[in-house]
A and B are shown apart, each in its own frame.
Chain A
Amino acid sequence: MKNPPPYRRPYRDTQPPYLFPPYASTVKRAPSQPLVALPQTLSELTAPVFGYGDIKESDNDLTRQHKGEPQGERIVVSGRVLDENSRPLEGVLIEIWQANAAGRYNHRVDQHDAPLDPNFTGAGRVLTDREGRYRFMTIRPGEYPWRNHYNAWRPAHIHFSLFGQAIVQRLITQMYFPGDPLLEYDPMFTCVPDEKARNRLVSVFDWETTMPEYALGYRFDIVLRGREATPMETRR
């Protein structure tokens, strides 16, 4: 059997290092020994397939998971998932999670003195369509303090988890909001050496998806790794 073509290495400085002491938790968790080069075999070039049996259609609307409406500003978050060869990726499972409008997570570890919202869990999922498009309706998450350093605050963000067509495309990232003054002080954001790569984590305000008299739209496109050589077009 022919091995499928491998995926390109990440472009220089576009991915964070494991050890980044300004983000204190990396110090005891980053591997200390050299990584071993891994040839990409069938095991790395395949990935689980998810479908409409795995999620509900309403899973992409975080504002309608409870009896009442959540507090805060409704927003539409949408975009496309492509690979580095500009190919739209269909059937990508996207899982998101976030704090509520007050900057509090619905999680036992979060002890921030801000109210929980009984009408907001903060979790959603969706599958991309044929053009790689996805769309969530949610609430703009609040900023919140954390204990990494004195007076540390996380900029507003939404966590994203994505499965591609190969295990080496698996990606977990965070989406930020344009103009957030906290970004430049945030070690999770500044850990990425390449400034352009960093700024691609910031969503763009989008008139086209903004819903009149209802919700502002933000666009966040995500690019997963692409193959070294583009194979013959195969649709799953």
Chain B
Amino acid sequence: MSLRGSTSQTIGPYLRIGLEWMVIEDLAPKGVAGDRVSIEGRVIDGDGKPVNDAAVEIWQANSQGKYASPEDSQDKPVEAGFRGYGRSLTDDAGVFRFRTIKPGRVPGADGKLQAPHLVVTVFMRGLLKQLVTRMYFPDEASNAEDPVLAAVPAERRPTLIARKRADGTLEWNLVLQGRNETAFFDF
């Protein structure tokens, strides 16, 4: 028997009531292996204004390229204390932030390794269903051979790669419309 999937509805403006209890901006407590990264970005609407009521969620593998999920059957260890899930609710300036570790490489649909990336899901008032995108890391040679990046038109590819600020923070903005519009995926 087959059912039809339930319909998505907007998260609306009052998301904090339901989602604030599980804000996780620091994914990797002390002791978790991997290169530490700080990520910060802004969500920007079609008028260039900050979106102050968005939920940004990230999902990532550990530094070995293993997801803490029973669906990942790779023969690699999961790491105690690292779930790989983060949730940030944007502030009045539209800013979200995460502190985590750089994930390892995980296999793609064809078995070849993908470049390190975060899966990013975005909800907000005015979105009737979530947006899904990915954040990739700067100065990463494997970006050139990543099959998902390769599927993104070349001129839009830079929108998925974070920029390293002088202080080392990775800056990555989510631009909803216009010239620098982030590439979003049909998932």
Contacts and interface: CB of A to CB of B under 8 A. Distances in A.
Interface of A: 1-4, 8, 10-11, 14-18, 20, 23, 25-33, 35-49, 54, 82-86, 95-99, 105-107, 109-110, 121-123, 125, 159, 161, 165-168, 170-174, 188, 191-192, 196-198, 200-201, 222-226, 234, 236
Contacts of B132: 38, 167-168
Contact of A33 (B15, B59, B68, B181): B181
Contact of B46 (A28, A54, A107, A191): A28
B9 to A, nearest CB: 4
A95 B131 contact: no
Contacts of A173: 6-9
Main secondary structure on B side of the interface with A: loop
A86 B12 CA distance: 29
Interface in B1-53: 1-19, 21-22, 45-47, 49, 51, 53
A48 B85 contact: yes
Contact of B148 (A38, A54, A85): A38
Contacts of A46: 59, 67, 69, 71-72
A90 to B, nearest CB: 11
Interface in B63-99: 67-74, 83-85
A122 to B, nearest CB: 6
Contact of A165 (B2, B13, B71, B185): B71
B144 interface: no
A224 B6 contact: yes
A173 B7 CA distance: 7
- Lowest 7 A-B CB distances belong to which pairs? A97-B18, A25-B126, A29-B126, A48-B85, A46-B69, A16-B128, A38-B185
A167 B46 contact: no
Given A36-B152, A110-B14, A44 B111 contact: no
A97 B13 CA distance: 11
Contacts of B109: 3, 39-41
B9 A201 contact: yes
A46 B103 CA distance: 15
A229 to B, nearest CB: 12
Contacts of A98: 17
A161 B12 CA distance: 12
Contacts of B11: 159, 161, 172
Given A25-B126, A26-B127, A32-B177, A43 B117 contact: yes
Contact of B5 (A10, A30, A37, A188): A10
Contacts of A36: 151-153, 156, 183-186
B108 interface: yes
B106 A42 contact: yes
Contacts of A25: 125-126
A4 B107 CA distance: 11
B69 A48 contact: yes
Contacts of A174: 9-10, 12
B121 interface: yes
A198 B5 contact: no
B148 A41 contact: yes
19 contacts: A2-B73, A4-B73, A26-B126, A29-B124, A30-B126, A31-B131, A31-B184, A33-B156, A36-B156, A40-B187, A42-B67, A46-B72, A48-B84, A84-B2, A125-B21, A223-B4, A223-B5, A224-B5, A226-B3
Interface string B171-187: 00000111001111111
Contacts of B8: 15-16, 171-173
Given A32-B181, A35-B186, A38-B148, A1 B74 contact: yes
A142 B83 CA distance: 37
Nearest to B60: A43
A201 B33 CA distance: 43
